């Protein structure tokens, strides 16, 4: 069976706590050596890069990270700059802020910066994204759709993402903005992929074998359309309400785990004292 990813990803649903306990961002920082490693804040998605960089540098500094740098790309030509490429290469963790996910792909897609990002990811660097930085992680991303609305046939605008996690569509600010309808529409149009909706101040940690751990105060929603038996999705009457049958939904919270390959939740295997003793003989 095809692997769905290769690398270490932390994907956050947006509006993560930056003032209180900062539990999610603490987990982010704990992924690296806070004294030695470089944490790179990529402000590509936002229209306010200086403000975003300043805030995250402050928060990550409070959490003990000593080496914090910023990748600010506002023009596509800057994604070919050797200094920006080197910033990616020297970083142990690259953190994509929120904003507009289409800005990320349009500014760095197919450039030396993207090549360096892909190489860093394959070599074990942590890639982290919040809000728009979360949606862009997958190979197909939602760029526009109606919030707080019924699922409708063809009201969703999608585009290629960075492709760091395969065969999924990720949506963020999920329950807070009522995005179940638009993610269902995405799955109706692409039933072979898995829909993942992530609440605010909630995230998923994805390891190299495709196993996910949920962290944070909200929920993560996994929508599996692989067994759909009927849908009325089509280009005709695009604004009609979507009908679809036999869709599977899993709702996971902090500490719960999910297997992307098997498309199912799981619990860690527990070994008895006897089994452990036998292995040590």
Mean pLDDT by 10 residues, the chain (281 residues): 63 98 97 98 98 98 98 98 98 98 97 97 94 95 81 80 94 95 92 97 93 97 97 79 95 97 84 40 33
Q: Return the structure tokens found at 52.
A: 């975003």
pLDDT at 280 (0 to 100): 37
Return the half-sphere exposure (C-beta side, CA atoms, 13 A cut-off) of residue 36.
2
CA nearest to 263, candidates 276, 277, 248:
248
Q: In which residue are the tokens 């930085």 written?
A: 133
pLDDT at 235 (0 to 100): 65
Alpha-carbon Rg for the chain in angstroms:
19
CB of 196 closer than 8 Å to CB of 169: yes
pLDDT at 275 (0 to 100): 42
Give me the domains of the chain, ranges plus CATH numbers. Answer: 8-279 (3.40.50.880)
Q: Going by C-beta distance under 8 Å and a sequence separation of 6 or more, which residues neighbour residue 243?
A: 230, 231, 232
Rounded CA-CA distance 70/65 in Å is 13
CB of 87 closer than 8 Å to CB of 55: no
Q: ∠ CA(96), CA(165), CA(117), 5° rounding?
A: 50
CB of 183 closer than 8 Å to CB of 171: yes
Q: Return the structure tokens found at 274.
A: 């006897």
Catalytic residue positions, numbered: 131, 173, 200
CB of 217 closer than 8 Å to CB of 273: no
């Amino acid at each position: 069976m095809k692997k769905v990813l290769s690398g270490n990803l932390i994907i956050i649903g947006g509006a993560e706590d930056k003032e209180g306990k900062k539990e999610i961002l603490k987990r982010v920082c704990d992924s690296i050596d806070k004294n030695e490693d470089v944490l790179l804040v990529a402000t590509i998605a936002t229209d306010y890069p200086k403000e975003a960089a300043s805030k995250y540098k402050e928060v990550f500094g409070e959490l003990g990270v000593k080496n914090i740098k910023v990748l600010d790309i506002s023009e596509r030509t800057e994604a070919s700059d050797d200094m920006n490429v080197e910033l990616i290469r020297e970083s142990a963790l690259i953190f994509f802020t929120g904003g507009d996910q289409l800005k990320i792909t349009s500014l760095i897609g197919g450039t030396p910066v993207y090549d360096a990002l892909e190489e860093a990811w394959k070599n074990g660097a942590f890639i982290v994204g919040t809000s728009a930085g979360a949606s862009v992680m997958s190979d197909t991303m939602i760029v526009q759709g109606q919030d707080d609305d019924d699922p409708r046939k063809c009201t969703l605008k999608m585009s290629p993402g960075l492709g760091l996690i395969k065969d999924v569509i990720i949506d963020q600010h999920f329950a807070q903005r009522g995005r179940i309808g638009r993610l269902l529409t995405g799955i109706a149009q692409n039933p072979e992929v898995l829909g993942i909706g992530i609440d605010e101040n909630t995230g998923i940690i994805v390891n190299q074998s495709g196993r996910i751990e949920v962290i944070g105060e909200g929920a993560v929603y996994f929508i599996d359309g692989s067994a759909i038996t009927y849908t009325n999705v089509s280009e005709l009457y695009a604004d009609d309400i979507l009908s679809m049958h036999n869709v599977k939904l899993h709702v996971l919270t902090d500490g719960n785990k999910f297997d992307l390959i098997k498309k199912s939740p799981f619990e860690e295997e527990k070994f008895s004292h006897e089994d452990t003793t036998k292995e040590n003989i």
